[in-house]
Every structure is written in C-alpha cells, then in structure tokens.
Amino acid sequence: MTDGAPRIGVTTNDPTTQTARRYAAAVEAAGGKPAWITPADLRAAGDAGTALRRLDGLLLSGGRDIDPRMYGEVLIPGIGVDVDATRYEVEVLLARAALEEDMPVLGICGGMQCLNVASGGSLHQDLSLIGVNPASHKGSGEMVYHIVRVVSASLLAHVVSGEDLQVNSSHHQAVKRPGKGAAVTASAVDGVIETIEFPASRFAIGVEWHPERMPDVKRQSRLFRALIAAARAARSGSR
C-alpha cells in the first residue's frame, strides 16, 4: 500500500448488512478505505499473514461469541452463549497475526474480545457469572449507556482527550484475564473491563462499546481517526 487512503480490513460475516455498513462509514469518515474480510476470504487466503498483506490496518468488528474452548474453558449452558465457530476459528488467527506483525488494529465489542483471546487471554462467558446484571451492559433491542473510567496517560486517554467517557453498550461477555502484553485502560463503574491496549505495539486497542454507532460524538470518532493515522504512519515506515 503506497498511494491513496490507508486500506483498512473490516471483519464481518456479511458486508451487506446495516451493521457492517456502519463500520465502513466510520472508516471512510476518518479517511480510510474499508476492505471487507469475511471468514470465506480468510479461508481462501490460506493463512492470516496472506490476508493482511493487502492492508494497512485492521478493524475487528463486533459479532456473536467466541467458542470458550479457544481460551481453555468449557461452554457453560443456559447463560446465552451464542458461538460463531465458523467466524472466530479464523478471525482469532487474523488478530494474532496482526499483533505479531505490529499492524495497527482496533477491536470493537466482540473484536476487543477477539484481540484478547488472540493474545492468550480469556473471557467471562456472561456478566451474571461475576455478579453484574447483564441488562446494565446490554439492553433488550436497544443500546444502554454508561460511563467508563479511563486510565490517565493511556493511549485511550490520549485519543479521547479525557479520563471519563460516556459509551453505549451491547454485550453480555467481557474480558476475564487480559492477554499477554495487554493493559486494561478503561473499566465501567461496576468493574467490567471496557478497554485493553497493547503498549508495546504501534497501535493496538480494543473497546467494548460501539463508537461506529456514535458518529456525531467527536471523542468517539477520534478512535477511527487514530487508527487511520497509525495505518498511514505504518505505511510510511514511521511510528
């Protein structure tokens, strides 16, 4: 990638959905060029490294749940775990390759969880298991909103310019054990981990909320601009 807007891979099962189009719109508004990556694309590429070669950065989008076996646990029945094995058995490998190659990457909701599992971390299969009411993080058909407390001097604090941030929320799982190299840099008031980032990486951050659904909120859109800036810098060989 040498000319034009940075090419950002956007993971999805179906590029035609409104959900997918929101991610693409956020990338375009920030100055990037979205390139869809489906599970079929990853399998056709043969390996994750090949899939990444055409990209300057990566956006891991939200989705269903990762098979708990991928982080060394057994699926707990009756708590709403909705596994998408077809997607995540290849997408976790893609996330791992992006971290290994120091490609700029932003994980959103399930994409944050994917980043964590890719780096060796684990997940709470449902917030109820840690005494948190899942309804406080996932409404019935609508987003809920809450405050996250951002660690000062973190990448997130730099990007959003502050330490308290109102976010939307639509998840029933969360990071349990952070992966290797991952730092927790934002949490909800109830203790649920809301952001991980990888300080040793050029730009690698995962957020549990959906900034693509808040396009008019400047502090949220800065996450996409930061990804595009990092992708552009990586393409030019600078940090």
Q: Tell me whether residue 109 is one of the annotated catalytic residues.
A: yes
Which residue among the candidates 124, 137, 171, 210 is catalytic per the annotation? 210
Which residue among the candidates 91, 194, 208, 212 is catalytic per the annotation? 212
Q: Are strands 57-60 and 7-11 parallel, antiparallel or unpaired?
A: parallel
Distance CA 196, CA 156 (A): 9
Which residue among the candidates 91, 109, 124, 208 is catalytic per the annotation? 109
Residue 124 near residue 130, CB atoms below 8 Å: yes
Distance CA 174, CA 138 (A): 12
The residue type at 150: V
Active site residues: 109, 210, 212
